[in-house]
Amino acid sequence: MLLIECPWCGARDEPEFTYGGEPAVRPGPATEVGDAEWTGYLYLRGNEKGAHRELWCHSAGCGQWFVMERDTVTHATIAVVRR
Amino acid sequence: MRYSAFSLLRQGLAGHAGWQQAWRSPPLQPRYDAVVVGGGGHGLAAAYYLARVHGVRRVAVLERGWLGGGNTGRNTTIVRSNYFFPESVALYDFALRQYEQLSEELNFNIMLSQRGMLCLGHSEHDMEMMARAVNAMQINGIDTELLDAAQVRAELPLANFTADARYPIHGGFVQRRGGIARHDAVAWGYARAADALGVDIVQNCEVLDFIITGGRIAGVRTSRGDVAAGAVGLSPSGHSGVLAAKAGFRLPITSYALQAMVSEPVKPVLHMVAMSWATGMYVSQSDKGELVFGAGLDLYPSYAQRGNLPTTQAIVAAMLEIFPAFRRLKMLRQWAGIVDVPWDYSPILGPSPVANLYLNCGWGTGGFKATPAGGYFLAHAMATGRHHPISAPFDLGRFSTGALIDEAAGAGIAH
Ligand SMILES: Cc1cc2nc3c(=O)[nH]c(=O)nc-3n(C[C@H](O)[C@H](O)[C@H](O)COP(=O)(O)OP(=O)(O)OC[C@H]3O[C@@H](n4cnc5c(N)ncnc54)[C@H](O)[C@@H]3O)c2cc1C
Ligand SMILES: [Zn+2]
């Protein structure tokens, strides 16, 4: 069970949160973006073993999204950032 | 040494002192024609087919831990081919047909038990989706039948048919050729047969990096030294992303923990594989008598092979709602494996963005049933440089063209 530090509410249990994937910036303008760039944005991921940047939502709490850097081997939180 | 009833009798009478090692532990050579990374069932099968079908001489399987210690030794051993899309049916039924004759081919009993896999529908909506799925499967030539509630009850008398059931049972569908097989035996059988054809299986040998010259893979750097290689195949399951990064590209894959557990052994109470679409829970009874069960993924990326408690709890709760009689059983073990899940829940096979490097990854939560196929098509790609027609739709390029094979939506994916 993860104890996740919501930057607004403080430490809460894992079931209160929803994992939202790796943060990615939508490329644009759409008419100038090629297939390779779209593929990268839509589908390709770092999937790092170790430090991993992730979006999380405190869905059963304050409802805010935030970025958490987490170690995918130890599950330890490295940093939590307000967005 | 051939295994048979006669050799068993003879060794038994001789006090079992004469059994030979099933495969060698050879030293790592400085150069091979083909190197397969990952000594799970898929990697071992690829090596076997490279030697047997394509006559490749110097083949090595490099395994960072022990043979079959990854997901091959951690899965719940369900085999089936009841998929939705024709591309998937061609792939998974190829594997099932190989399994149906594999014990004979490898001279190793993989204990295939085609006891049938039955999926439960918990609402009228589930039943409509199942009718659609069964129609698609039948058109693709797969042996599936839609069942009403009474037919399900005849097969699974211990399931919860009471009026106030949390997950009422409205019916289901069955694939009679589905069932279970012994996971370790699949790995060991392929290992023994590959070794007999001269394949070097090198355990405790981690691939740390690739040797790339002129944009081509020329070999691998391992914890036991450098190895030059003609072709390199990746079959590392949960670690696909880690190895792709070393080769300089990213994959449409996320690695998650998938857990499973077993109860204490009891006398036969469940003769089929039962699965519930709505909860993802599935359960079968092993030949030893343990109930083997699991459900969905832990909900965030992980490389920790253990699995978290909230998911364990959800799995157990679903199982006990559907089979209340199992409430009294003690749990014996719980574990997890790291599975590599692509967005469409279909594997990624064939050439990679780097020349001379071939992919067999993204099998995610359901690749045990596909072990012969993953190995066969990886061997084909490594030996010929091209796709086999069955593996072609599963090319990495589908994520650029948009031709995804969305089994997550199609088959209500489970393992
Ligand atoms: C709990 C659970 C239940 C499952 N249930 C089912 C089921 O019922 N039916 C089904 O069909 N599938 C199921 N699966 C999925 C199935 O287990 C996998 O898809 C399949 O076993 C993958 O086989 P593999 O040979 O590709 O991978 P693995 O057996 O994981 O082999 C990959 C090997 O690569 C090695 N490796 C990784 N990195 C390196 C490196 N750098 N150098 C050298 N070696 C490396 C690993 O040590 C590992 O041994 C389940 C999985 C889990 C975890
Ligand atoms: Zn909050």
- Domain boundary, last residue among B341, B373, B388: B341
| Chain B contact present for A43, CB below 8 A | yes
ipTM for the predicted complex comes to 0.96
Q: Which residues contact B201 (CB under 8 A, 6 or more apart)?
A: B23, B24, B25, B26, B39, B44, B47, B60, B61, B63, B67, B191, B194, B195
Q: How many A from CA of A5 to the centre of ligand 2?
A: 8
Q: Shortest CB distance from B308 goes to which of A14, A40, A43?
A: A14
Domain check: are B313 and B366 in the same one?
no
In the predicted model, what is the mean pLDDT of chain B? 96
B12 lies in some domain = no
Atom of ligand 1 nearest to the CA of B366: 12
Predicted local confidence at residue B414, as pLDDT: 62
Domain check: are B127 and B159 in the same one?
yes
Domain check: are B222 and B317 in the same one?
no
**Phi, psi (deg, nearest 5) at residue B87:** -60, -40
Q: Which residues pair with B117 in a beta bridge?
A: B175, B273
Size of interface A-B (CB pairs under 8 A): 67
> To the nearest whole angstrom, how far is the Cα of A3 from the nearest Cα of chain B?
12
Predicted local confidence at residue A9, as pLDDT: 97
Provide the phi-psi class of B307: left if phi over 0, else alpha when psi is between -120 and 50, else beta: left
Cβ contact (<8 Å) for B400 and A15? no
Range of the domain at A44: 3-82
**Phi, psi (deg, nearest 5) at residue A80:** -125, 130
Range of the domain at B326: 117-179+255-341
pLDDT tens-digit profile of A24-34? Answer: 999 999 999 99
- Domain boundary, last residue among B341, B373, B399: B341
Q: How many A from CA of B338 to the centre of ligand 1?
A: 7
Residue B215, pLDDT above cutoff 70: yes
Residue type, B132: R
CATH number at residue A62: 3.30.2270.10
Terminal CA-to-CA distance of chain B, rounded, Å? Answer: 35
Domain check: are B249 and B259 in the same one?
no
Q: How confident is the model at residue A75 (pLDDT cuts 50, 70, 90)?
A: very high
**Phi, psi (deg, nearest 5) at residue B294:** -170, -170
- Domain boundary, last residue among B285, B308, B341: B341
Question: Looking at chain A, which residue has its C-alpha nearest residue B344?
Answer: A43
Q: Which residues pair with B273 in a beta bridge?
A: B117
> To the nearest whole angstrom, how far is the Cα of A39 from the nearest Cα of chain B?
5
Q: Which residues contact B157 (CB under 8 A, 6 or more apart)?
A: none
pLDDT tens-digit profile of B155-213? Answer: 999 999 999 999 999 999 999 999 999 999 999 999 999 999 999 999 999 999 999 99
Whole-number percent of chain A with pLDDT over 90 = 96
B350 lies in some domain = yes
B68 lies in some domain = yes
Per the structure, how many domains does chain B have?
2
pLDDT tens-digit profile of B334-344? Answer: 999 999 999 99
B15 lies in some domain = no
Domain check: are B379 and B281 in the same one?
no
B131 lies in some domain = yes
The closest ligand to the CA of A64 turns out to be 2
Q: How many CB atoms are located within 10 Å of the residue A65 CB? A: 14
pLDDT tens-digit profile of A48-72? Answer: 999 999 999 999 999 999 999 999 9
Cα dihedral sign, B258-B263-B264-B268: negative
pLDDT tens-digit profile of B15-58? Answer: 999 999 999 999 999 999 999 999 999 999 999 999 999 999 99
Question: Looking at chain B, which residue has its C-alpha nearest residue A49?
Answer: B303
Whole-number percent of chain B with pLDDT over 90 = 97
B11 lies in some domain = no
| Residues in B touching A66 (Cβ below 8 Å) | none
- Claim: this prediction has a pTM higher than 0.90: yes
B244 lies in some domain = yes
B380 lies in some domain = yes
Residue B415, pLDDT above cutoff 70: no
Domain check: are B353 and B404 in the same one?
yes
Q: Shortest CB distance from B400 goes to which of A1, A39, A52?
A: A39
Q: Which of helix, strand or coil describes residue B136?
A: helix
Q: Shortest CB distance from A45 goes to which of B239, B253, B400?
A: B253
Domain check: are B123 and B268 in the same one?
yes
Domain check: are B168 and B213 in the same one?
no
Per the structure, how many domains does chain A have?
1
How confident is the model over B103-130, as a mean pLDDT?
A: 97
Predicted local confidence at residue A43, as pLDDT: 97
Q: How confident is the model at residue B409 (pLDDT cuts 50, 70, 90)?
A: confident
Residue A83, pLDDT above cutoff 90: no
Q: How confident is the model at residue B380 (pLDDT cuts 50, 70, 90)?
A: very high
Instruction: Please give all residues whose beta carbon lies within 6 A of any atom in ligand 1, as ranges.
Output: B 37-43, 62-65, 69-72, 74-78, 206-207, 235-237, 239, 243, 258-260, 294, 337, 339, 363, 365-369, 415
Domain check: are B209 and B247 in the same one?
yes
In the predicted model, what is the mean pLDDT of chain A? 96
pLDDT tens-digit profile of B239-274? Answer: 999 999 999 999 999 999 999 999 999 999 999 999
Q: How many A from CA of A12 to the centre of ligand 2?
A: 8
Q: How many A from CA of B340 to the centre of ligand 2?
A: 30
